[in-house]
Each structure stands twice: as structure tokens, then as C-alpha cells.
Amino acid sequence: MAASFDEILSDLRNRIFKPVYFLAGEEPYFIDIISDYIEEKVLSEADKAFNQIIIYGDDTNIAAIIDTARRFPMMASHQVVIVKEAQSLKKIEDLAVYLEKPLQSTLLVFCYKYKSLDKRTKLFKLLDSSAVYFESPRLRDYQIPAWIDSYLMKRGIKTEPSASAMLTEYLGNDLHKIANELEKLIITLAAGKPVITNALIEKNIGISKDYNNFELQKAVGERNILKANMIVRYFADNPKDNPLTLTIASLFSFFSKLLAYHYLADKSKNNVAATLKVNPYFVKDYESAAIKYNAKKTVQVISLLRTFDMKSKGFGDAGTEPGDLLKELIFRILHL
């Protein structure tokens, strides 16, 4: 059966086991969390020596995996067989033979990363009917801030409204990396103050709460020339920490959503947030920017961003420094 991440972990914690777990998809974070839980928690340390086997897809084949899975546990209720890098296996469809009659005392786990199964195949249909099939899609950039908020909320921790957006800008969409940085922040929290603030992020991760892509986007949206130029100078002085391509991508995302905002018939806060896929807290940024940049000017900004994106990659430019390109780009946007 297809199951969600939370459903699978809940069943495992309640020791409700299935004979086969097929964990697939582009996002490895959720696959690793589930497989790590099974590896660490299903068997006691004493039982693991004889009843837990870790196999790698490059080093085995389906026939050998089935032979291992059909063994009975030794002095334990279950055996655990985890196949890591299962996407390297050849003839994965041959697993169908085992799925027709899996051994109930075995937990056979496949970590099939960066790929998914064709849902028209016999193998998928058998997994769907007699095992657990979990597909882990890569989260899109706009989904990351909400994921960060949810991750922290489960720990009883709140965030300042712009903190999750700032972390997303800096860390990207690598959930392993984000989770590691969040754990570092959690350790630093003072007792009785479970709130992740921008100042805490700046102090412990190294992201400037005043000089980052999120603040530049806000300054440009407000046509705050002084603040925008201060940030641009900071970026020019610290190019390694502030790659021009990422800055352009951030601004492109903002102005693309602003263009969509202009053509919304329903500009209520909830509808804007849902349509643009942004936190409702940030709707006011689009309302403000729409006053400064009408639809025509928004299109002109997007055109400029495309041009300077090409220049930043060496097309149509004779080697201008990234900092100088950024200064010219922001000047031209602010003076449209």
C-alpha cells in the first residue's frame, strides 16, 4: 500500500511491521529517516548480530536478496534486511516473485533513491497490495519554509516570520543540510525561550540578518535605494558567500510571483498566499511591490533579470566582475 511518511513512522513506533518496505523517490531525507529508524529500533542490540543484514545494491542481485529474506530469524521474532542504494539493482522486477508470498518474520527494506517505479508494472501493483510503497518527492523551494516551520513545531519551537525564509535562501532545499543546521540552532536555545530568531541564525550559522537575498528582495520591492545599495555593496565585497546567480534566481522568483499577483482577480490575503505559494505573512511584500512596479515595469524587471543571468554565465559580457554586474542590475531595476 502507498503510505505517508508519518503513517509509516507511527506504525513502526507501535511495532506494526510489514514484510516489505520499498522507499523510493527524489528526496533521500525521508528515505534515510525511515530506514535509519528500522535499522536502529526494530531489533535489540543483542538480536542485531544474527538477524540484521545491510546489503548494497552494487554488491548483490535480486535472487540473493530473496534467498536472504526467506531465512527465518535466529532466536528473535524478526530479521531485518536493508538494501541500500537499491536503485543500482538490475532486474528489480524479479522481486515480484518474493512479493507474491513474503515471509512475515522478515522486514525487507529497499532504499531506492532518486528514482521511482513505473506504476503500471506488476511489481508496483504487488507492492501496493502486499507491502509498503513510499515515494519521497523532492520538495520545491517554496515548500521549504513551511517544512522548516513544521520541523521545529514538532519540537515545540517557533520561528520569527522571516527566519525560515532566510534559512531557505541560504541553505537551499537539501533537507539533510537544513535539518543539521536546525539541530545546531536548537542546541543554542536558551531555556524557556523556544524561538528561532534572525539574530540567533546570524550568530550561529553565519547568515547576516541584514545582508541576504531575502532582505535585498524586500529592499528592491520597496524601492528602498539606500538599503538595496548597502546590501549590494556587501554582496560585492563577499562574492563567495553571495553568488550572483543565486541572487538573480531569488529576484526572478519574486518578480515572477509579483507579475502573477498583478493579474489575480481575487487579491485577498489567503488567495494570494495560496496562488503564489507563499506564507501569508509575506503577502504584504507583494502588495507593496505592486504599487512600486506596475505590470509593465514588472515585465521589464524580469527581462533585465534574464539578460543579467546570461551575462553572469559569460554570455554577452566581456568579463565584468559579478559585483559590478549586480550593482548595474539593481541600479537599472530601481530606476525603471
Equal fold, 5-135 vs 141-205: no
Bridging pattern class, strands 195-196 and 52-56: unpaired
Residue whose C-alpha cell is 495560496: 274
- Report the pLDDT value the prediction gives residue 135, as an integer from 0 to 100: 95
What is the residue-level pLDDT of the chain in tens, covering all 336 positions? 778 999 999 999 999 999 999 999 999 999 999 999 999 999 999 999 999 999 999 999 999 999 999 999 999 999 999 999 999 999 999 999 999 999 999 999 999 999 999 889 999 999 988 899 999 999 988 889 889 999 999 989 999 878 888 888 788 889 999 999 999 899 988 877 789 988 888 888 877 888 889 899 999 999 999 999 999 999 999 888 889 999 999 999 999 999 999 999 999 999 999 999 888 888 999 999 999 999 999 999 999 999 999 999 888 776 789 999 999 999 999 999
Contact 244, 314 (CB under 8 A): no
Q: Which sequence spans correspond to the domains of the chain? A: 5-135, 141-205, 213-334
CATH code at 5-135: 3.40.50.300
Alpha carbon separation from 94 to 99, 120, 173, 188, 249 (Å, rounded)? 10, 15, 34, 50, 44
Residue 308 phi/psi, 5-degree rounding, is: -75, -25
Between CA 41 and CA 44 the distance in angstroms is: 7
Fold of 213-334: Zinc Finger, Delta Prime; domain 3 (1.20.272)
Q: Show the DSSP H helices in the chain as ranges.
A: 5-13, 28-41, 45-51, 62-69, 96-99, 122-130, 144-153, 163-171, 175-188, 198-205, 213-221, 225-237, 244-262, 269-276, 283-292, 295-312, 322-334
- pTM, rounded to two decimals: 0.77
Q: Which residues pair with 52 in a beta bridge?
A: 80
- Report the pLDDT value the prediction gives residue 112, as an integer from 0 to 100: 97
- Report the pLDDT value the prediction gives residue 287, as an integer from 0 to 100: 96
CB atoms within 10 A of CB 306: 12
Residue whose C-alpha cell is 544474527: 50
Residue whose C-alpha cell is 525560515: 164
Residue 189 phi/psi, 5-degree rounding, is: -65, 135
Between CA 294 and CA 280 the distance in angstroms is: 21
Q: What CATH number does domain 141-205 carry, 3.50.50.60, 1.10.8.60, 1.20.810.10, 3.30.70.2740?
A: 1.10.8.60
- Report the pLDDT value the prediction gives residue 234, as an integer from 0 to 100: 93
- Report the pLDDT value the prediction gives residue 242, as an integer from 0 to 100: 87
Cα of 217 vs its chain's centroid, Å: 21
Residues in Cβ contact with 292 at an 8 Å cutoff, skipping those fewer than 6 apart:
221, 222, 223
- Residue of 108, 163, 150 whose CA lies nearest to 130: 108
Q: Which residues pair with 53 in a beta bridge?
A: 81
- Report the pLDDT value the prediction gives residue 15, as an integer from 0 to 100: 96
